Homo-oligomer: A and B are copies of this chain.
Amino acid sequence: MRPSGRKLDEMRAVSIETGFTKHAEGSALIKMGDTHVLCTATIEDRVPPFIKGSGLGWVTAEYGMLPRATNTRMRREAALGKQGGRTVEIQRLIGRALRAGVDRSALGERQITVDCDVLQADGGTRCASITGGWIALRLAVNKLMKAGDVVSDPLVDPVAAVSCGIYAGQPLLDLDYPEDSEAGVDGNFIMTGSGKLIEIQMSAEGSTYTRDQMNQLMDLAEKGVGELAAIQKSVTA
């Protein structure tokens, strides 16, 4: 039995409120159980220097946590004067993940920045950021298409992510914080709605794992991402 009382392959309750803020071209508050992330997508008519004039667009992401999103208060990164290593790693991951699902030529020479800010954390914030970030991105692109600025849909297949891990010898889907902090092995699995792989990160803190275990987690992840992609479609239809 897992601490949360969920079945091994059972995700937390997912709730998504689109349009949570009014200024952003796309926004969503995603709740994976007690993990709540506010995702916004901003469209700008500029691209990074290295693709200027290429006709290609760019999607990038930034990630943050409110100081008291966690059980004990963390120091505010803006006050510390720099983003920590974990933050940098996560926002690079979110950006790569979302770009994998974008036809940058169809998007055209513009940039969309997806901000993922964790209002409350209970494990799996990077996966929730990717899943919710894709929704914000989808809504922003819808606006571009409605306005006729983009003709061919650059988002052909939803991108979603879920964490899985091995806890007390059992493979679990969608770890919450108590499960995650006890899991010897865990991974983040980023896939498309149609089951293609985008990025797998699977690591063992002070331990190792086998290919068999890896395959068990991948099976769980495919189930979870399938469910998430269905939700993504329903809220952005």
Chain A residues close to B by CB (< 8 Å): 20-24, 27, 34, 36, 38, 40, 42, 44, 62, 64, 66-71, 73, 76-83, 85-89, 91-92, 96, 99-100, 102, 104, 113, 115, 117, 119-121, 187, 192, 196-211, 214, 218
Contacts and interface: CB of A to CB of B under 8 A. Distances in A.
Given A199-B201, A211-B218, 12 more contacts: A21-B69, A23-B69, A23-B70, A23-B71, A40-B66, A78-B82, A81-B81, A85-B89, A86-B92, A100-B206, A104-B206, A197-B204
A23 B123 CA distance: 13
Nearest to A20: B119
A87 B77 CA distance: 13
Contact of A207 (B80, B86, B100): B100
A203 B188 CA distance: 12
A interface: dominant SS: mixed
A205 B68 CA distance: 27
Contact of A197 (B40, B70, B211): B211
B202 A214 contact: no
11 contacts: A21-B119, A22-B120, A40-B67, A40-B68, A44-B73, A64-B66, A76-B78, A99-B205, A100-B206, A100-B207, A192-B208
A83 B201 CA distance: 23
A113 B72 CA distance: 12
Contacts of A208: 100, 192, 196-198
Contacts of A117: 66
